[in-house]
Amino acid sequence: EAQVTQNPRYLITVTGKKLTVTCSQNMNHEYMSWYRQDPGLGLRQIYYSMNVEVTDKGDVPEGYKVSRKEKRNFPLILESPSPNQTSLYFCASSLWPPGGNQPQHFGDGTRLSIL
């Protein structure tokens, strides 16, 4: 089954404790991205990747890191999480980058609470 898989689905942690949210897709998609969703603000893009070893900042990259060492994986790293990073996070992928008229495929989301 074609899918985008995120882990964990839920995480409660404390300020400053490094964490990684994994994202994997099995559709051989070139483009992957991370969004955060907050009430009243919709989805905002954190980082995106056009292909392996090619990543770039989205609208709200501060406090986050990403890597794209393999085509299928695109982990989101919070080196020193803070309470303002409490949010619902989504990973998404598409065959081509925006401009290629391709839909985005989303994971089920990761709800992070940082105390």
Partner 1 sequence: SQQGEEDPQALSIQEGENATMNCSYKTSINNLQWYRQNSGRGLVHLILIRSNEREKHSGRLRVTLDTSKKSSSLLITASRAADTASYFCATDETGANNLFFGTGTRLTVIP
Q: Which residue ranges make up the site for partner 1 (CB under 8 A)?
A: 4, 33, 35, 40-45, 48, 50, 56, 58-59, 88, 90, 92, 97-99, 101, 103-109, 111
User: What value, to the nearest 5°, has the Cα angle with vertex 84 and ends 80 and 88?
Assistant: 95
Q: Smallest distance, Å, CB 68 to partner 1?
A: 14
Residue placing its CB nearer to partner 1 in the complex, 12 or 14:
12
Is the CB of 14 or the CB of 41 nearer to partner 1? 41
Are the CB atoms for 89 and 34 separated by under 8 Å?
A: yes
CB 104 within 8 A of CB 25: no
User: What minimum distance in Å lies between the beta carbon of 7 and partner 1?
Assistant: 13
- DSSP-derived 3-state class of residue 93: strand
